[in-house]
Amino acid sequence: MLPASVGNLSTSLLKFHAKSCKIKGRIANEIGNFSSLLFLDISENNLVGSIPTTIGNLRNLQRFNLSNNKLTGFIGDHICKLQHLGEIYLGQNKLSGSLPNCLGNITSLREIHLGSNKVSSNISPNLGNLQDLLVLDVSSNNMVGSLPPEIGNLKVITKMDLLMNQFTHGIPREIGELQNSLYLSLRHNKLQGSIPDSESNMVGLEFLDLSHNNISGTIPKILEKLQNLKYFNVSINKFYGKIPSGGTFKNLSSLFFIDNEALCGSSRFSVPLCPTSSKHKSNRKKLLVLYLFLGLAILLFLSYLCLYG
């Protein structure tokens, strides 16, 4: 247990590490007495209850890790008093409620890890203020609403994981501003619309997962220029048209394209071959000839009516 007497430790304490120590019970309110604390890590324990509001007293805190516990309740706006916070780890708990809008005011933030909880709000446009953010992980929650165009302001972000939520509407074209991003997962949401061509500007991208959504349209051929892309999954959507075959697409598995509306392309993708342009031209010529014959027949018929009608 973490007894209340833990608060009697020196207020000049800089680091408190108790990772994976089989600690049970609640986090003592008295932990807020450590006014000089820079690093707090009580991850991988069996802590229950809510995050105490006294955490807001740790004004110098830079790294905050309570991940892999059994914490419940809301994250709470008191987190936003930690104006020097660089990394926050609250993943693998049972936290619920909204993602505090005021997180966007902690401009020192570099990493946000909130995956595998029960957070149910939207992504606030205020998060676009975090222009030095490197990692945003809100995967496996109940997040809703549309992706705000302000995410395009996160220009240095390297990883954005929005896997398994309830996001709707389309992928904003501003996402193309994330040119340093290596990892982007939008898997298992309810996204619609098409892939914006601006994604081709994400030149550093190595991992892109758009599977298990309702995205439609064609797969932009311009994505072939993403030379670093090693994983590209658009399975279980509503895509149609030709699968690009150049660039990184030469090495992609057919499994990344299954269960779509009407994709076509190379046989190695296990999809039908696309109609060739020569067939289209031939069909157009046949139609033209047919229309000419029909036109002549109509003219002859009208002439007959004029003469013998």
Q: Name residue 230's amino acid.
A: K
Q: What does the alpha-carbon distance between residue 164 and residue 83 come to, in Å, rounded to a whole number? A: 30
Q: Which pTM value belongs to this model?
A: 0.86
Mean pLDDT value across residues 170-174: 97
Element (DSSP H or E) covering residue 118: strand 118-119
Read off the pLDDT band of 2 (50, 70, 90).
confident
Residue 66: its pLDDT value, please?
A: 98
Nearest alpha carbon to residue 225 among 206, 203, 243, 209: 203
Nearest alpha carbon to residue 65 among 114, 14, 118, 101: 114
DSSP letter for each residue of 258-287: -S-SEEE--GGGTSPPPPPHHHHHHHHHHH
**Secondary-structure percent of the chain, ordered helix, strand, coil, rounded to 5:** 30, 15, 50
- In sequence order, the β-bridge partners of residue 102 are none
Q: What does the alpha-carbon distance between residue 216 and residue 233 come to, in Å, rounded to a whole number? A: 14
Residue 8: its pLDDT value, please?
A: 86
pLDDT (tens digit, 9 = 90+) per residue, 36-83? 999 999 999 999 999 999 999 999 999 999 999 999 999 999 999 999
Q: Which domain does 19 fall in, by range?
A: 4-308
Please list, residue by residue across 122-135, b when 16 or more beta carbons sit within 10 angstroms of its beta carbon and e when fewer do. Answer: bbbebbbbbeebbb
Triad 97, 101, 103: Cα angle to 5°: 105
Read off the pLDDT band of 13 (50, 70, 90).
very high
Nearest alpha carbon to residue 37 among 82, 93, 1, 79: 82
Contacts of 108 (CB under 8 A, 6+ apart): 62, 83, 84, 85, 86, 132
Alpha-carbon dihedral sign for residues 264, 232, 92, 144: negative
CATH number for the domain harbouring residue 265: 3.80.10.10
Give the chain's domain count. 1
Residue 279: its pLDDT value, please?
A: 54
Q: How far is CA 245 from the centre of its chain?
A: 25
